[in-house]
Amino acid sequence: VFGCDHISSVAAPDKFCNRTTLALDSLRRGMEGEAMGIVTRIKEDLGLPITSLTVRITDTTLGAPAVGVHLAVTAPDGHALNGRTDEFGSARVDDGLIPGRYSVVLEAGQWFAAHDRPCGYGDVVIHLDVTSGSAHDITVSLAGYAYSVTLEPNSYQAPAG
């Protein structure tokens, strides 16, 4: 257990201690995603660079978010993260990304099949270079026989506070 006596140099030591305690509690409960979000906020508070990746998928035929698309993000070291898009058609890795070449695989063909809709392709595979301290956004528009991908690397700036 961390003690908070030694962090008086942090601008808001009480907030830092509370967030650290929340992150540790989340890890104990097996909620790694929640813990990473808290760690990201701690890093923001300290003014440290954050490296993130967000995927947003829209079903252009229906004009709605593509909810439940399975995706896999593979890091340069071979470590893979798997997930599904949420009710907004988004999936996000808040932090912990190492710089290098990533592969993002969207199981679009399986998603269309699960919704009894035709699809002229299978997986959508995207390769991108991730740099440290940047927010990387991938926007994908899906239709049954076509898709488009936009990559938007954005320089991350910690909020003033």
pLDDT digits (tens, 9 = 90+) for 57-93: 999 999 999 999 999 999 898 988 888 999 999 998 8
pLDDT tier, 34 (very low <50, low <70, confident <90, very high otherwise)? low
Per-residue confidence (pLDDT) for residue 142, from 0 to 100? 96
Token pair recorded at residue 28 = 């104990």
pLDDT tier, 105 (very low <50, low <70, confident <90, very high otherwise)? very high
Share of the chain above pLDDT 70, in %: 61
Per-residue confidence (pLDDT) for residue 42, from 0 to 100? 62
Classify residue 108 by burial, with Cβ atoms within 10 Å: 0-12, 13-18, 19+. buried
The yes-or-no verdict on residue 159 having pLDDT over 50 is: no
Q: Which residues of 3-28 are buried (b: 16+ CB within 10 A; e: fewer)?
A: eeeeeeeeeeeeebbebbebbeebee
